[in-house]
Structure formats: structure tokens, C-alpha cells
Amino acid sequence: MQYRTLGRTGVQVSSLALGTMNFGAFGNISEAETTPMVRRALDAGVNLIDTADAYSGGVSEELVGKALKDVDRDSVVLATKFRLPVGDISRLGEAKGPDVMNRQGGSRRWIVKAVEDSLRRLGTDHIDLYQMHRPDPATDIEESLSALTDLQRAGKILYIGSSTFSAAEMVEAQWTSERRSLARFVTEQPPYSILVRGIEADVLPTAQNYGMGVLTWSPLASGFLSGKYRPGAEAQRSHRDRLAAGRPMPPANAYDTLKREAAEKLYILAKEHGMSLIEMSLAFAAGHPGVTSVIIGPRTLEHLETQLPASHRTLPGELLDRIDEIVAPGTTVKPGDTHAVVPALEKANRRR
């Protein structure tokens, strides 16, 4: 396992991080399955574990806490997130009203409660990295940073970070921290894979300019880079997609066809270089000089075992050039896969 400095914090983290979104109802796995996965990752040298209060309505945090119960707390860099609604995943997106709206977001009122709930579920007295899961256009970023600064001074969180912020939002947050003498985001957590390279154009350079660590998620592009979408195979949906808010998934579109075609070319390329598509995809994400750690999200121990070998892989320049020919630098095959929301482009805010 390789280790890198998390931004300018001085903290050393593994090049692969264990993501736990699949712990609980999202992945339909229990403590009997999650604890061995955590222990195996730790044995392999993974020391960064990432979760969120919204994952399975808090169950993911509980399972992580149980898995780490007998583990030396100082040997683990524990990261979690706030901002998204916490509750029954089958009802997310349906519930409305002020009570529900106040149980999410970036307000001081919610952050103070959310951190206490996460500490309780994780069974710890501090969180190493507390991240804002998404921007909150309804809340002044100064309010969020002020609350996070107070929690940092109280010792409940050590560092703060953002997740899926645009480059402009990252700059605004950094500028606000400097102007108001508040704690600053030391990390950003964006989606990044061979099929989703948009952050190479702005987010990664911005993070590098500000000395931020970058923890990337969805390195296998929601399964498109796992090898399961090969020609002739029956169309499949990820377990996460089937459960998303209890809503049926839309039919595959032209962008999905382009993703499958690119994935097939990448599969053949990986095979030519003596590795699996999974290994090549993870090594690609980890190899960018602006990336600190790649968050993997295995649903089973078998999945984890197929991903761990990537920690020893370094892709040669010739192979990177071939990948660039399939998906050009700075581009995203399916624009929506950036997961970034631009409030100004929401229908209510357009010029109509």
C-alpha cells in the first residue's frame, strides 16, 4: 500500500480508502459481512475509512463503529459526512415540509446535531475528517464554516472537507475562510474515473492550488468499469441504483451506450497490459498527481479482494496515452455523472 500526505495536514493516508456506502440497506449487507471487510482492508494497509450519516439512514456509521470497536483508534483516519437528509432511504426525495428540511443542510442548527449523532453511531469521541456532502445553496457558506470551526476548536472534529463542490464553490469557501479567519476545507471529494474526467479541467487544479487533499469516489463509474457491462451481457443495474429512493431506474440512453463502448475498449486495453479492468481503472484514478486517495466501495469481501491489488499498480505513460485516446482528458462521457448541481441552471432560476 502506498501512503500520501492528506493535503497540507501532515496526516498520512493510504492511496486506497474504504468507502462504506454499501454498508447497510444500500448494499443489503450486515455486521457479519461488514466487519470482516473492514478488518481485511486494515490488514492490507488501508487506514482511511469513509462513511456518511445519509448512508442507509445512519446504519453505515453504526456498522463502521462496530467494526472498529476493538481496533486502535489512532491507527484509523475516520471520515464521515453531513448535509444530505438522514432517514428512511425509500422515502428520500418524497418528504417535504420545514421539519424535514431542517434535518439536513449546512445550517449551524443542523451541523451541531448531525455531528453528535455521527459521533454516537460511530462510537468515537472525535471524527478525523468531517465533510460537507454537497453544497447548500440555501445557506451562507460562512455559517457552515463558522459552525465547523467551533466544533473543531471543541475537539469533536479535527479537519473539515467538502464533497462534490464545483471549482467556483471551492474557491468561495477558501476565500471565506481566509477573510473570516475560519477553519478551511482541507479536502475535496469528487467523482472521478476514466469515464468521468471533468474534474481534471478545474476541480483538481483548484485543489492543487489550495493544497487540498482529494479523495475521489466512484472510480469504477458505478460498475461500468468493473467488466460486467461487456457486449452480449444482459443489461445490469448496480445494487445501489435499484435501491435509490425506491424509484425505478430510467431506461438506458445514448450516453450509457457510449459508456459501454468505451468500457469495452478499456477492457481490451487492460487485458493487453496484463491486468484487470478494475485494477487499471483504480490505478488510473490513483495515479493523477492531484489525487490523494481513491475511495473504493466494495459490496462483498470478494469485491474488495479484486480491488486491493490496484494499490501496487502504476500505469506507464504509453498506457495513459492509450486511455486518453478512448476518453479525452477533462471530459465526461455522460455529463450527469459529474453529480454537480448548478443552482443557476435549475428550472426555477432560468430566464423563463
* Model pLDDT for residues 82-96, shown as the tens digit of each residue: 999 987 544 545 555
**Segment 15-62, tens digit of pLDDT:** 999 999 999 998 889 999 999 999 999 999 999 999 999 999 999 999
Rounded mean pLDDT of 197-221? Answer: 98
Q: Name every residue whose Cβ is closer than 8 Å to that of residue 249 and which is 6 or more positions away in sequence.
A: 237, 241, 242
Please give the pLDDT value at position 56: 94
d(CA 68, CA 23): 14
d(CA 91, CA 93): 6
Three cell numbers at 82? 453531513
Q: Which residue among the candidates 3, 55, 130, 210 is catalytic per the annotation?
A: 55
**Residue 349 above 80 pLDDT?**
no
Q: How is domain 3-347 classified at the architecture level of CATH?
A: Alpha-Beta Barrel (3.20)
**Residue 321 above 50 pLDDT?**
yes
Three cell numbers at 183? 477553519
Please give the pLDDT value at position 101: 76
Nearest to 152 by CA among 172, 170, 131, 173: 131
**Residue 294 above 80 pLDDT?**
yes
**Residue 2 above 90 pLDDT?**
yes
Please give the pLDDT value at position 246: 43
**Residue 174 above 90 pLDDT?**
yes
Please give the pLDDT value at position 253: 82
Please give the pLDDT value at position 121: 98
Q: Is 55 a catalytic residue?
A: yes
Structural domain spans, the chain: 3-347
